[in-house]
C-alpha cells in the first residue's frame, strides 16, 4: 500500500430544479447519468474506464439497487467502469467523496467519480405493511386455501400507499421539528436566520452572475440555472413569511430559512495527483482529511443535526489545526438555524467541555468566509446531490485563491444528515 494524494479534478452537476417541475419526468438514474455525461464531456472521459463511480440517492426505488452502475451503463463512460452505491442520507455525496479519495490515497484507484442524485418528484411509493405481509404470505402459501386465506386478510386501509418516510423513525419527528428544538435550545433568533438565508441567495446569485458555475454545471431539460435562487429577496420579504416549524415564540423557522424540495444530481471527479499531472488534468484541491460522526439524539439529550460538531474537533486535533485556520467554511444549510447552531455550539464553553469532551470552546470564525458562494438555502438541496455540489465548488474556490500567507488556501466542508450523523472534510488548494 502506498500513501498517495487524492485531488479534486473538477465536478459537474445539473442545475437544481424545484420539485414537481422541470425534472418531474426524470428519475434518479436519468439525472445521475446526465451529471456523469456532462463531467465526461468536460474532462474527455467518454469511452474512458474510470476506476470507480460511487454515488447514491436518499429517496431510492428498490429497483434501483444498482443506481450508480445503471447510470454508468447509460453514460458515455466505458461500460467496464465499476460502480458502487452508498448512502448516508444528506451526507451521501460527501461520504462518496471520502470513499473515492481514500481508495485513491491507498493506491487502489487512480481516478474515480463521487456523487449522488435525488428526486422528490419521482419518489418511490411502497405498499402498506399490511398489504405487503399479505402478498408475501400469499406468495409463500403452498395450497390454494392458504393463499386465499392470506389474501382475505387484506383490508381496504391496506391499499393506501406509503410515501417515503420524512420522520426520524426513533423520534417520530420530522427534520424540521428536530431543528426547531435545536433552534430554540440554542436561542437562535428569527432575524439572524433570515440573514443567513439572504446571504445565501445574494452570494449564489453573485456567483452565477460572475460565471463561477460555468464549468461546474451543465444545463438539463431546459434548465440552465439553479431554480431556488431568489435574486430579489430581502430581509423584509423573508421576515414576512410565517413560521412552519416550532411553536409559539420559538417558531422562527420559515420556508425562507429552511431548504425546500429539489431535484438534482452532482458528481465530483477525483484523481491521484500524479495521474492528474501525467494526464494534464487540473488539480484544484487535495483532500486532506475527513471525519464522520454521530450524535445520540434519540432520547432528546442531543441535537439531530449537530453531529458535525463532534467530527470537527476530532478532525482539527488530528490535523493540528484550529477552527479559525480555514479560509473558507462550507457548512450545509439544511436550515439557516443549523448553520447558526453549529457555530454557536462550537463557541459554547459548556457544550464543548461537557458534550464534546474538549478542554474548551473552539471559538468563533470569521463569518465572511462562510458559504461565500451561497449554499443549500439558495441552491436547493437534492439530498444526495449536495456533497457533489459543495466539494468541486470549494475546490475551485481554493484553487482560485491559491496561497494564503505562504500556505495553500484551506477549506472545510460540513454536512449534517438524518439519523443524527455528519460528515466533514478538509481540502487544501493545489
Partner 1 sequence: MERVVLDTVPSMAPLLASSLVRDGVRRVTKHRPRLLPDREVVLADVVQSAGRLATYDRVCGFGVRDLVPATWLHVQTFPLQLVLLSAPDSPFSLAGMVHVTNSMTLLRPVSVGERLRLSSSYGPPREHRRGVLIDMIGEAYVGDELVWRGVSAYLVRGASLPGMLPEDQPDGVRLPSDVDVQADAVWRLPANLGRRYASVSGDMNPIHTSAIGGKAFGFPRAIIHGMWTHARVLAALEPRLTDSYRMDVRFTKPILLPSSVRFGARNEGDHWTAVVRPRSGEKTHLVARISSPTH
CA dist., res. 38 & res. 388, Å (int): 13
Total residues contacting partner 1 (rule CB under 8 A)?
Answer: 17
Report if residue 30 touches partner 1, rule: CB under 8 A: yes
Residues belonging to the active site: 90, 381, 416
By CB under 8 A, tell whether 34 contacts partner 1: yes
Q: Which of 79, 163, 164, 187: binder of partner 1 (CB under 8 A)?
A: 79
74 binds partner 1 (CB under 8 A): yes
> Nearer Cβ to partner 1, position 18 or 396?
18
Is residue 183 within 8 Å of 249, Cβ to Cβ? no
Binding of residue 25 to partner 1 (CB under 8 A): yes
Q: Specify the residue, 37 or 111, whose C-beta has the smaller distance to partner 1.
A: 37
Is 19 within 8 Å of 261 (Cβ atoms)? yes
Residue entry with cell 443535526 = 305
Query: Minimum distance between the CB of residue 40 and partner 1, rounded to whole angstroms?
Result: 10
Q: Are 15 and 37 in contact (CB under 8 A)?
A: no
CA 307 – CA 292 distance, rounded (Å): 8
CA dihedral 281, 53, 38, 79 (to 10 degrees): 100
Q: Report the residue from 10, 11, 13, 37 that binds partner 1 according to the rule CB under 8 A.
A: 37
Return the residue matching grid coordinates 449537530.
Answer: 306
Tell me if 27 contacts partner 1 by CB under 8 A.
Answer: yes
* Set of cell numbers at residue 400: 482560485
Query: CA 304, CA 289: separation in Å to the nearest integer?
Result: 24
Nearer to partner 1, 12 or 183 (CB): 12
**In the chain, how long is the greatest CA-to-CA distance?**
80
Q: Please, which residues have CB within 8 angstroms of residue 177's CB and are 6 or more apart in sequence?
A: 245, 246
Q: Is 26 in the site for partner 1 (CB under 8 A)?
A: yes
Q: Is 154 left (phi over 0), alpha (psi -120 to 50) or beta?
A: beta
Among 5, 19, 33, 414, which residue interacts with partner 1 (rule: CB under 8 A)? 33
Please state, in angstroms and rounded to a whole number, the distance separating the CA atoms of residues 4 and 354: 37
- Name residues contacting partner 1, limited to 222-241 (CB under 8 A): 222
For partner 1, give the closer residue by CB, 34 or 416.
Answer: 34
Cell (9 digits) for 256: 425562507
Stretch that binds partner 1, among 74-82, 183-191, 278-286, 361-369 (CB under 8 A): 74-82
Query: Residue 220, interface with partner 1 (CB under 8 A)?
Result: yes
Q: State the minimum distance, in angstroms, from the CB of residue 100 to partner 1.
A: 22
| H/E element, 317 | helix 308-318
In the list 163, 189, 219, 239, the residue contacting partner 1 (rule: CB under 8 A) is: 219
Query: Among residues 37 and 303, whose Cβ is nearest to partner 1?
Result: 37
Stretch that binds partner 1, among 31-39, 161-169, 240-248, 338-346 (CB under 8 A): 31-39
Q: Does 29 bind partner 1 (CB under 8 A)?
A: yes
Q: Are 392 and 10 in contact (CB under 8 A)?
A: yes
Q: Which of 61, 66, 73, 260 binds partner 1 (CB under 8 A)?
A: 73
- Summarize as ranges the residues that interact with partner 1 (CB under 8 A): 25-27, 29-30, 33-34, 37, 73-76, 79, 219-222
Amino acid at each position: 500500500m502506498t500513501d498517495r494524494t487524492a485531488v479534486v479534478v473538477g465536478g459537474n452537476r445539473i442545475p437544481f430544479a424545484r420539485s414537481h417541475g422541470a425534472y418531474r419526468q426524470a428519475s434518479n438514474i436519468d439525472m445521475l447519468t446526465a451529471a456523469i455525461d456532462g463531467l465526461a464531456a468536460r474532462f474527455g472521459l467518454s469511452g474512458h474506464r474510470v476506476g470507480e463511480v460511487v454515488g447514491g440517492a436518499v429517496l431510492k426505488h428498490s429497483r434501483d439497487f444498482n443506481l450508480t452502475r445503471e447510470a454508468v451503463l447509460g453514460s458515455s463512460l466505458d461500460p467496464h467502469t465499476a460502480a458502487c452505491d452508498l448512502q448516508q442520507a444528506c451526507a451521501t455525496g460527501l461520504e462518496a467523496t471520502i470513499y473515492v479519495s481514500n481508495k485513491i490515497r491507498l493506491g487502489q484507484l487512480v481516478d474515480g467519480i463521487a456523487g449522488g442524485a435525488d428526486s422528490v418528484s419521482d419518489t418511490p411509493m411502497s405498499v402498506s405493511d399490511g398489504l405487503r405481509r399479505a402478498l408475501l404470505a400469499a406468495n409463500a402459501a403452498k395450497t390454494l386455501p392458504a393463499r386465499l386465506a392470506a389474501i382475505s386478510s387484506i383490508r381496504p386501509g391496506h391499499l393506501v400507499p406509503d410515501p417515503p418516510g420524512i420522520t426520524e423513525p426513533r423520534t417520530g419527528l420530522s427534520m424540521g421539528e428536530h431543528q426547531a428544538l435545536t433552534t430554540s435550545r440554542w436561542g437562535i433568533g428569527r432575524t439572524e436566520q433570515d440573514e443567513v438565508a439572504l446571504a445565501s441567495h445574494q452570494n449564489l446569485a453573485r456567483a452565477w452572475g460572475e460565471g463561477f458555475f460555468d464549468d461546474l454545471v451543465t444545463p438539463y431539460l431546459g434548465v440552465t440555472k439553479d431554480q431556488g435562487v431568489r435574486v430579489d429577496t430581502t430581509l423584509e420579504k423573508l421576515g414576512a413569511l410565517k413560521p412552519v416549524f416550532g411553536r409559539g415564540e420559538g417558531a422562527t423557522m420559515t420556508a425562507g430559512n429552511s431548504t425546500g424540495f429539489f431535484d438534482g444530481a452532482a458528481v465530483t471527479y477525483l484523481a491521484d495527483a500524479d495521474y492528474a499531472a501525467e494526464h494534464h488534468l487540473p488539480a484544484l484541491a487535495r483532500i486532506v482529511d475527513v471525519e464522520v460522526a454521530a450524535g445520540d439524539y434519540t432520547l432528546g439529550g442531543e441535537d439531530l443535526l449537530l453531529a458535525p460538531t463532534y467530527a470537527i474537533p476530532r478532525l482539527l486535533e488530528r490535523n493540528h489545526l484550529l477552527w479559525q485556520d480555514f479560509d473558507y467554511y462550507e457548512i450545509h444549510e439544511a436550515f439557516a438555524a443549523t448553520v447558526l447552531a453549529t457555530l454557536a455550539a462550537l463557541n459554547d464553553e459548556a457544550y464543548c467541555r461537557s458534550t464534546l469532551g474538549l478542554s474548551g470552546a473552539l471559538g468563533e470564525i470569521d463569518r465572511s468566509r462562510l458559504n461565500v458562494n451561497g449554499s443549500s438555502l439558495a441552491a436547493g438541496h437534492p439530498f444526495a446531490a449536495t456533497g457533489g455540489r459543495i466539494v468541486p465548488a470549494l475546490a475551485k474556490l481554493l484553487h482560485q485563491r491559491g496561497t494564503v500567507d505562504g500556505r495553500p488556501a484551506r477549506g472545510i466542508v460540513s454536512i449534517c444528515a438524518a439519523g443524527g450523523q455528519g460528515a466533514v472534510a478538509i481540502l487544501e488548494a493545489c
